[in-house]
Amino acid sequence: MESNMITEVSSGVCDPSAGQPHRAALILARGGSKGIPLKNIKNLAGVPLIAWVLRAALDSEAVDSVWVSTDHDEIERVARVWGAKVHRRSPEVSKDSSSSLETIQEFIRLRPEVDIVCHIQATSPCLHPHHIREALQMITEQGCDYVFSGVRRHQFRWEEVDKKDGKNPTSPNIDVAHRPRRQDWPGELYENGSFYFSTRKALETGLKQLGKIAYYEMLPEYSVDIDVDIDWPVAEQRVLRFGYFGREEKAAVRLFLCKVSGCLTNGQIFTSVSGEDHVAINARDVAGIQMLQRENIEVFLISNMNEPLSKGLLEKVAQLTGCRLQFGEQQNWFEMEQLMKEKKLCWNEGAFMGSESEDREILSQVGLNGVPCDSPVADLIAAKYTCQRPAGNGAVREFAEYILMLKKKSLLQVHQEHIDRANF
């Protein structure tokens, strides 16, 4: 059991007719981050940082609304693409000196229907829906006014001393002569900054008149906080292993559909002196396709009549990559639906990599979608994976590795590779 304070969990779905309190998830995302510019929407493992917590909040089924409070147009765009509502905060609470409490108080003043605020930090990408459900129950069912997330750490603390005084430092939690083994010491609870849930009344009083306060203990593998650049590569590895990937996390991909122009190639066509057309394909992308094929994932290259490459050249590309070529008149949803039926597959068993606005319908249907970082459609959809590499320069290989990583992850046990929590 992750938290010894939770004994039973229900869906937490609100029934307005039952007079239940309105529960709003709120993510604060100011545009003026000093450590990492626009940190909240920077891609972490192919997904905007803020999207990791938005996905968890939206899938939790425990809150009635999910909001992002921001002062920045681009953050607003990303928030809306990922399904959140947006509160445009005022300049008064958008300063470097503005506190989170001031910003939340402005939000509830403008949202009188909100009874409970689930303040979630965008910088905690390993948050899962069950964390939100269980912590929220501590307010709705156990009568708490304020619940914060914490993590247990086995660290010995030492008091700082002025070296000029020549005094010895002392430890408030260790006897140097009897240093305990890790397994013999329960450790200490630290606030980890993942979330802070509170009632409207508690917020209106500035958290100065709190009744019952409780902590929600998260396992250390889920306790990830990003503050500076050096945290980013560590967080990327952690989120790939312990992050919440959405409801389709365990869907097994059996068919990969990949657009040629804009994905496998960068759209450039070279014409020789003799008038022959040529196109460049990155060897890493070919290797990525072969990796999928070795795992019994069939790969189709798809194109249509609007394709700038000739059908003959497309067939050569398909031959080079060892793929089937699906060449349709429009390359629309209906044609792809027919292909899925022929293969006797469901949409959630397919992965699709597209790049143009015409690909949006198919991207929204498949179980897993990906786009190169330079594709026009990247700004229009909430892609499950946005590649760090551009089209024709390793984007297909990157997405292929992501597909295989999810396949491996789906085979793991519920508790993420059996973490030895006694020695984490």
Q: How far apart are CA 368 and CA 353, in angstroms?
A: 9
Amino acid at 42: K
- Between CA 279 and CA 287 the distance in angstroms is 17
Please state, in angstroms and as integers, the Cα–Cα distance from residue 214 to each residue in 26, 139, 201, 226, following that order. 20, 9, 16, 24
**Tokens coding 8:** 């039973």
Q: Which residues are catalytic?
A: 179
Answer for the pair 188, 173: CB distance below 8 angstroms, yes or no: yes
Instruction: Dig out the tokens for 153 from the structure.
Output: 């750490």
What is the identity of the amino acid at 94? S
Distance CA 31, CA 37 (A): 8
Residue 225 in tokens: 């906080």
Question: What is the C-alpha to C-alpha distance for residues 235 and 246, in angstroms, rounded to an integer?
Answer: 18
Is residue 65 within 8 Å of residue 16, measured between CB atoms?
Answer: no
**Alpha-carbon gap, residue 195 to 21, rounded angstroms:** 19
Beta bridge mates, 369 = 352
Cα angle at 31 between 68 and 244, to 5 degrees? 50
Three-state secondary structure call for residue 163: helix
Residue labelled with tokens 């403008």:
110
**Which amino acid, 20?**
Q
Cα–Cα distance for residue pair 114/122, rounded to 1 Å:
20
3-state secondary structure of 116: strand
145: which 2 tokens? Answer: 């006014």
Distances (CA, A) of 255 to 352, 383, 405: 8, 18, 15
